Structure 1
């Protein structure tokens, strides 16, 4: 979404609430489907359940259709082609990690979310999720400071290496950790090609052309194309950490204005989880004094 002279006061409240409501709906779908997962459910079945949940609640189109990754596929190990991202017949087993990812479109608004979880018991997954919290803080602080997207990406890389993990968002097409999202404006008929909505792709490609004219990009990676501060607008950000055959991530909208940046919504499953863990840790500390 390319905008100029965007400040916190000039962002359209209706647009913010439209993006926020859809992001909440997308996370509700992932949360609901995650709660119903059990041994033997396939990635394809999980993705279909997300799609059904959202279409029943007014979603009309997709930036991309739902994904589900189970087990070692959460870390994108041995992924070589885009086709490997699509859901498979991999079945969920006890203790397995999973990631659910969807990007619905409703009334022109777009959300793109990522939800990490596991079936049963998995202490290592809990540790990775705990460590992911620092990346949400780092990204916001450095974007607010006006650092280039390239430098913020490298800052995430440095932090995850310090934590003992490796970068899995580099496996996404274009090595992106984020991309801009905006209201879909297209007269093309609704259609899905290779898992992506043609209307959303037309909007993204239009932004790509406009941004390149200004030596900027709506795609956030670690190359020189991202050697500029975040363009004002909405960014779907998805840091993805990997450790051996396990990956965890979140994906949510970061709002960037001319003079500030903020996460669109803090009432999200991973944020609530971090808050609960912090309260538990604080209570344990008090008990041990």
Structure 2
């Protein structure tokens, strides 16, 4: 298992896995129709992935509809799993899929709606500003904790709620790794691949006491350090009046710099197509507007 020092070939492998995941979410999103349940949307993503040759996942696909996109009613980890909630016209939806492709771990989030939802559309635009802000913070070598807290203040100032604090361990991001393809487990427990129980959870527990080398990025003491080199699946999640939106994609962090693994992602493409001002900033990797 590799955590850091990825060469260009490795980055190409992660990029291909991430693009495959976005293709899956985009295709299933186009198939959404009134009456489909979260469980059925998640099953469609898994079928799509397995048809594409994916044998296992960092986590099984998630789908959230309606106020569940804002994590209303989410009190413990089992509440994240897909339910019988049915999609209705105008409802927001979030699809989240995390394949492991040739040992490369990807994890993406995709926000959409069934028909027009102006609240979520505004969120999707504002989330591009978050993309630029997070990158600027890492490039400035602010601590992970400070970047999280700075984003929290931005969320409040813009009238939103922070929904990613409801994720396990309040994560804004988590590491992704390269696993040995010959040894990747195809088994899952509570929705997560067994390999995650072998490295991510033990590493997170050790970091809770050592205050370093955590695979999680949150607002706790274990993230109060300079950005750690490696690949991080970043997932800012906004909520407002029962509507939620997020994206999730891989950030490449080196000893002295950082960049998004791929700027050709659906949320950036949407912003450029709609000529949202934040999209040009996000796609160039420039600092966020004042």
- Structure-2-length-normalised TM-score: 0.90
Deviating above 3 A after TM superposition, structure 1's stretches of 4 or more consecutive aligned residues are 185-189, 205-214
In 2, distance between residues paired with 1:278 and 1:126?
13
The residue that corresponds to 2:137 in the other structure is 142
In 1, distance between residues paired with 2:110 and 2:29?
9
More off after superposition, 113-122 vs 177-186: 177-186
Secondary structure of the structure 2 residue equivalent to 1:202 = helix
In 2, distance between residues paired with 1:177 and 1:189?
26
Q: Is 1:100 aligned with 2:101?
A: no
1:7-22 to 2 correspondence within 5 Å?
11-22=6-17
Q: Is 1:256 aligned with 2:253?
A: yes
User: 8 Å contact 1:216–1:228 — kept in the other structure?
Assistant: no
The residue that corresponds to 1:131 in the other structure is 126
Q: Unaligned 5+ residue runs, structure 1?
A: 282-289
The residue that corresponds to 1:286 in the other structure is none
CA RMSD of aligned residues (A): 2.0
Picking from 167, 174, 190, the partner of 2:186 is 190
In 1, distance between residues paired with 2:276 and 2:241?
29
In 2, distance between residues paired with 1:80 and 1:279?
35
User: 8 Å contact 2:175–2:215 — kept in the other structure?
Assistant: yes
The residue that corresponds to 1:285 in the other structure is none
User: 8 Å contact 1:62–1:200 — kept in the other structure?
Assistant: no
User: 8 Å contact 2:3–2:178 — kept in the other structure?
Assistant: no
In 2, distance between residues paired with 1:99 and 1:221?
21
Structure whose alpha-carbon radius of gyration is higher: 1
The residue that corresponds to 1:235 in the other structure is 232
Secondary structure of the structure 2 residue equivalent to 1:95 = coil
Q: Deviations over 1:114-137 (max 9, x none)?
A: 000000111121111111111000
Q: Please state how far the C-alpha of 1:204 moved relative to its aligned partner.
A: 2.0
Secondary structure of the structure 2 residue equivalent to 1:99 = strand
In 1, distance between residues paired with 2:137 and 2:18?
23
In 1, distance between residues paired with 2:51 and 2:12?
20
User: 8 Å contact 2:211–2:223 — kept in the other structure?
Assistant: no
Q: Please state how far the C-alpha of 1:60 moved relative to its aligned partner.
A: 1.4
Q: Deviations over 1:55-96 (max 9, x none)?
A: 111111111000000000000012111111000111000000
Secondary structure of the structure 2 residue equivalent to 1:83 = helix
The residue that corresponds to 2:35 in the other structure is 40
1:100-249 to 2 correspondence within 5 Å?
100-185=95-180, 187=183, 189-205=185-201, 207-208=203-204, 215-249=212-246
For residues 209 and 242 of structure 1, do their structure 2 counterparts lie closer, same or farther at Cα, with a shift above 3 Å needed? closer
In 2, distance between residues paired with 1:188 and 1:50?
20
Q: Please state how far the C-alpha of 1:274 moved relative to its aligned partner.
A: 0.9
Picking from 65, 69, 76, the partner of 1:70 is 65
Secondary structure of the structure 1 residue equivalent to 2:169 = helix
